[in-house]
Structure 1
Amino acid sequence: MTTNASPIANDRVLQLLIMLSRIELSDEQKEQALSLCRDVTDWAGVALRARQNLILPLVYRHLRQLQPAGLEARELEQMRIAVMTIQQRSMLVMSAQQAVLKDLIEPLGIPAMFFKGPSLAMRYYDEPAIRISRDIDVLVPHNAMVRLLETALQLGYVPYDPQPLQADPSSLAFLARTQKVITLISPLGVGIEFHQRIVRYASVYDTEDLLTRRDALQLDPLSYPVMPTDELFVYICLHHTKHFWSHLHWLVDLDAIQRHPDFCLESVRRCAERHDLVATVEASLELYRAMSQPCPWEYEPISAQGRELLTSSLAAMAGGSRSSTRCRRRWPHRISPLPGRPPLPICCAGSCSAGCASSAPATWITTTGHCLPTGSGCIAPFGPCANFSGVTHCFATPSHHDPRALP
């Protein structure tokens, strides 16, 4: 990958933020960070971009320790004040999570599980408050959703999505059947997302099976049900790859979990194999290694998936969430298919990486990015997608739509 091909090669601020997106810096990374700091002319701009990437508390911690020559005490103090405001909000989110546990999950005896957000910060970060958490994600079994919603509404939780929400049991039962994620606002003003699946497709993660494997995060006197480390690591690789790692706090998550004593790479790889997500996890690990280098765009991952993920993630990081959306539309085939099986065909509903502009399901994209006409024989034994709905992309396997082709 050449320097000219990278969207961040001339963006010294973004290079600095990427370098600081880890819990600890090696001596070499500290030297590289200080070198990048010498080119900074607008520290307020650095703070703004760090905040947009949800890593300002961590960036402030690193800069306070590095003490770059060009960073004035007044500018560092302004960062500190902004960080205090952010951390107050993060502490409020953690309090809201505690309330969900004490007021809903424990009294109702629901085998629920927290994932992402504050539970991730509390378990894997040396300072949980440096991870910005904006809401709370809870996995709930389908048969407990109505009871949970009834109780939450009685305790003053307010419907957010969908809105309005009828509180009678029959309406809640219908909602539980038709909407897989239901969001309420807690009495503390924090969004709580109650999930019946952690991904849209049950073929990747089975809720009941996952809930039987939940761990306990013991923070006396409370015990929080959380995802096992190997499951969480595989899940965040899938989730963050879907969004092309466009927010830098996701890189910090990857770093923090790998530093934790509970992390075992062999267990993670076995877990990835169970979910048919080996290529996704390996590409994410290659991305992590690339982002640890002074010039990530010059890193050469081993796999084709790693190269594609690095290229598209750098573009998404440079352009933010809009760029991430463009990448998803351009490369809807990002995650490779199952080992030993043909590429998963994808209906093309927009421009693909090979230049196809068809909006009809008569064109297919393989995982190598080639557009093929339906019936060409290259995608046997799959047939044309019968469930094309006009969305950006859809997937077809012999029995169901499959997200393992989804970024």
Structure 2
Amino acid sequence: MTYPITRTVPHDVAAALLLLSRQRLSEDDKGHARTLLGKLDDGHQLIDLAHQKLSLPFVARHLDALKPDWYHPSQLRDRLNEMTLLGLRVSGAQMNFHRKCIAPLKVQHSYFKGLALGAQYYDQNGLRPARDVDLIVDRKQIRAVIDRAREQNYALIDNARTQRILTSERDIDAALRYERVANLISPEGVLIEVHEEIDKHQGIFYGPKILWQAEAVSIKTVPMHSLPHAVHFIYVAYHCARHVWSALHWLADLDAMRNHPSFDHDTVMRTAQDMGMEPLVEATLDFIEGSKRLPDELDPGNSRTDALLELCVLNLEGGSSVEHALRAQHTKYALPFDWLVSPRLGRKILRNRLRGRFRPSFKDYEAVPLPPALRHIYPVIVPVRKLMRGRR
């Protein structure tokens, strides 16, 4: 496949960044890292990319240990402190939200990614960067959670991008009715995403089962729940694929989970097979190892590992615009390659996407704000609006 992105990041910089973007290195990895770092003149591009791709805490940890000739901690101190302070703010926001809005209501919940993943799989609090909070709750309890949150001075917003605060009961009701994620801004200014599904209508991850199997986790002594171990690994692998490996703290997550004592390869593969995600998980496991030794030349046409590495390396060329350009090449399954899912799951995804064409969104409500008595006609209006947008 040909992508609309030109690769300009030097190979040694990209190889060093992928290798260092993980919690631990073996002795062989350290030797290879020393060789790569010794080829760099000053490390500025490596550090800039690590900051941009959210892996700076891992890279800094290894630079402190390996001490290449050009390295001075002052090169990254300010940016590392910035990420640490943000992580502390997010941590405080998550604990406060849980104490104020989840625990009092005894809500069935499961936090995922972010601090919950860090608490489960990392050996140092705060090592894993976090910018927001994600959790899934029983869909029957979302309204109660949002009502409680608003009483505690959390603001419900339309979406994470525009962040327009919703104040009218009619808008709030529509947002909770038509969106699968309720977006809150905490008093600390942190985005909290309350999900009823974690895979954007694809129907891959079954919410009730996730909640029933949730694992206990504590963040600074506050007891919470997180995704089951196998499901969490599969979800992060899926999330990486959808977002074409645009952030390298996800690579660190996968590496930390793969090397954690709780990782059971047979359970993960059995779960993935049941879900139709076995090809994705196999490719991801190969990618975790392959990213430690980035080849001089990639052969994506003949190597699935190289196909994933190519996307990851291309994403080093910029921010969200590069990710969007790469995601525009996604297949009908909203993934980079059809072979990442089984044919059975592929058919399920297509069925759910077809149903989604008739499902109204909050944007549809904003464009045509029907009163509750007329909302039953949205399934007729929605396909027409999508057809008209496609003709523009």
TM-score range, shorter chain: 0.7 to 0.9
1:140 to 131, 137, 142: 137
* Offset, 1:297: 4.7
Instruction: For residues 138-188 of structure 1, give each alpha carbon's deviation from its aligned partner in whole angstroms, at most 9, with x where no partner exists.
Output: 1122211111111111111123334231364x6544321101112111112
Aligned positions of 1:41-60 closer than 5 A = 41-60=41-60
Q: Answer yes or no: is 1:159 the counterpart of 2:156.
A: yes
Provide closer, same or farther for how the CA distance between residues 276 and 84 of structure 1 changes in structure 2, counting only shifts above 3 A.
same
Q: Secondary structure at the match of 1:22?
A: coil
Paired with 2:210 and 2:294, the residues of 1 have a C-alpha distance of: 38
Q: Secondary structure at the match of 1:107?
A: coil
* Offset, 1:312: 2.7
Aligned positions of 1:332-347 closer than 5 A = 332-333=331-332, 334-336=337-339, 339=342
Paired with 1:135 and 1:228, the residues of 2 have a C-alpha distance of: 20
Paired with 1:64 and 1:107, the residues of 2 have a C-alpha distance of: 43
Task: Using structure 2 for the length normalisation, give the TM-score.
Answer: 0.79
Aligned positions of 1:27-46 closer than 5 A = 27-46=27-46
The answer to whether the 8 A contact 1:234-1:268 is kept is yes
**RMSD in angstroms over aligned alpha carbons?**
3.2
Q: Which runs of 4+ in 1 moved over 6 A?
A: 390-393
* Offset, 1:295: 2.6
* Offset, 1:245: 0.9
Partner of 2:269: 269
Paired with 2:389 and 2:294, the residues of 1 have a C-alpha distance of: 35
Paired with 2:28 and 2:268, the residues of 1 have a C-alpha distance of: 28
Partner of 1:325: 324
Partner of 1:368: none
Paired with 1:343 and 1:237, the residues of 2 have a C-alpha distance of: 17
Tell me the amino acid that sits aligned with residue 282 of structure 2.
E
Paired with 2:296 and 2:124, the residues of 1 have a C-alpha distance of: 27
Segment drifting more, 36-45 vs 336-345: 336-345
* Offset, 1:95: 1.2
The answer to whether the 8 A contact 1:93-1:133 is kept is yes
Segment drifting more, 136-145 vs 77-86: 77-86
Name stretches of at least 5 consecutive residues in structure 2 with no aligned partner: 351-382
Paired with 1:224 and 1:387, the residues of 2 have a C-alpha distance of: 43
Partner of 1:117: 114
The answer to whether the 8 A contact 2:12-2:39 is kept is yes
Aligned positions of 1:178-327 closer than 5 A = 178-201=178-201, 203-219=203-219, 221-295=221-295, 297-298=297-298, 305-327=304-326
* Offset, 1:234: 0.4
Provide closer, same or farther for how the CA distance between residues 319 and 344 of structure 1 changes in structure 2, counting only shifts above 3 A.
farther
Instruction: For residues 209-239 of structure 1, give each alpha carbon's deviation from its aligned partner in whole angstroms, at most 9, with x where no partner exists.
Output: 2111111114574211110110000001111
* Offset, 1:273: 1.3
2:127 to 118, 127, 130: 130
Q: Secondary structure at the match of 1:330?
A: coil
Which of 1 and 2 has higher RCO (CA within 8 Å, sep 6+)? 2
Task: Using structure 1 for the length normalisation, give the TM-score.
Answer: 0.76
Paired with 1:111 and 1:217, the residues of 2 have a C-alpha distance of: 14
* Offset, 1:41: 2.7
> Equivalent pairs: percent with the same residue?
27
1:90 to 68, 87, 91: 87
